[in-house]
Structure formats: C-alpha cells, structure tokens
A and B are shown apart, each in its own frame.
Chain A
Amino acid sequence: MNQNRRVLLKGTFAAGATGIAISAGLLTPKAVLAAWPKAAFEAKDANAALEATFGSSSTTKSGDIKLKAPDIAENGAVVPITVTSKIAGTEVISIVVANNSVPLAATFNLGANTKGFVSTRIKMGKTSDVTAVVKAGGKLYSTSKNVKVTIGGCGG
C-alpha cells in the first residue's frame, strides 16, 4: 500500500519534471519523442525485424564483431550479452534473438565518438542463435552465437 503510493508519487514527479523541462526548452523534443520503431519490434521473425530496422536483411559475416554470450544460460531471464565491433564507423548495433517471440531485442544508435561496444542483459525464451548486427558505412555486418537456455525467461 505504502509502496504503491511511493511509486505513484515518483511517477507524478517524474512526469511533472519532464513537462517543466520541455516548456523551459531544456530538452529538445526530439530526444523525448524520438520515433520508436514499432514495426521492427513487432516483427515475428528475424529477417523481417532487420528489414524494418535497416531496410535490408542481407548481412555480411564479419570476424571484426565480437559477441560475448554464455554457451549455456541457466536462467533465460538474464542472459548477459556484450557486443564489441572493431569495424570503423560503427553507427548502429542491434541484438537479435532468432527464436524469441519478438526477435529484435535492442537497437543502439551510437554517436560519432561512441565506441563500438555495448553490454546489456536480455531475456531468452529458449535455446537460440543470438545475432549481433552492426551497421557501418551503410553496410550491414553480423556475427552469431548459439546460446543454450535451460530455463526460459519469457512468460510461463
């Protein structure tokens, strides 16, 4: 009960603060309302997701991308994934889990000075190939790794 009240207060405060920030011109509306690629995140298979994100699903395998993921993930709800891209001019890194009900997990748009490196934790429903897709200089590169999942982490 008390906790709910906290959450509510927090939410109201955050919303209020953002509103003020916008009206004061502190935040550019672009940063707040950047279009979230709904189609890409609703696509049911990996190729369609890539198509919606990058406009193409043909990728070149590259050894310059390193995908660090466990061989066996005991808990599918928390699978640590690290992507390191040595390709010059890496602009976008996407993580795709082929056998998830929604394959596209995340898209990271990198700034000009940002290194080709991201690390996060994802959920996996079952054993699947995890693919890191990198966009650099208008081309798509990818690398995959099979991750075995003992307990799924999507629903159920």
Chain B
Amino acid sequence: MAKSSIKVRAKVKKGEAKVKCLISHPMETGLRKNKKTGKLIPARFIQEVVCESSGKTVMNAQWNGTISKNPFLSFAFSGAKSGDKIKISWVDNTGKSDSTEATMK
C-alpha cells in the first residue's frame, strides 16, 4: 500500500485525547509564480480535514491556501480511552483525498 500522506499521533491522558497530525501537501495558494516561466502555479490546497473517533466526527476543519505547506494540526477531545481508533481524512480542491487510521496511546 502506498504510504499515507498523514502522520498521526494521539495520546490519552485522564480520558482526554490530544491528537497531533502532520499532512504532507504542497498547499499552493494559486498566487505564487513559477520563477522560471513567470506563470502562476495553480492553486492546490486542502479544503477539508475530518477527524472521526468511535464513529463520531470529533472535528471538521475547513481550510484554504492560507494554511502552511505540509500542514500541522493539533486538537483535543474528551471521552476517549487508550486503544481507541482515530481516523483522519482530507480532501483538496482538486478532488484528491487521503485518509489514515491510528490507535490512540
């Protein structure tokens, strides 16, 4: 299987899970120019990141090109226990998507 573009680390402490994830993505705003050709580099950025745990949507983030290249995202939620699964997926403006699943520590 192709290597996922998402890296997730989730830790549970006293029922509260803290999730950190890194996504490898160019996050082009569409405003940058290719220095050699002088042409605009077409926009390509993640529009939406969805995080689910135990069948519930924990967080749904809507982004545009303002988010940095290779985005980092961290958030926390309660009611989690060690060993629970967490699923992160993203969709970009060109329709590409990826998702990954991890087990919380």
Contacts and interface: CB of A to CB of B under 8 A. Distances in A.
Interface of A: 6, 9-11, 13-15, 18, 31-32, 34, 36-37, 41, 77-80, 82, 97, 100-102, 104-111, 113-115, 117-123, 153-156
B14 interface: no
Interface in B40-79: 47-48, 50, 52, 56-69, 71-79
B97 A14 contact: yes
Q: Chain B interface secondary structure, helix, strand, loop or mixed?
A: strand
Contacts of A79: 68
Interface residues of B, number: 43
B13 interface: no
B73 to A, nearest CB: 5
B54 to A, nearest CB: 10
Given A108-B59, A120-B71, A121-B72, 15 more contacts: A9-B2, A13-B1, A31-B89, A36-B47, A79-B68, A80-B72, A97-B66, A105-B67, A108-B75, A109-B62, A111-B59, A113-B78, A117-B74, A121-B68, A154-B66
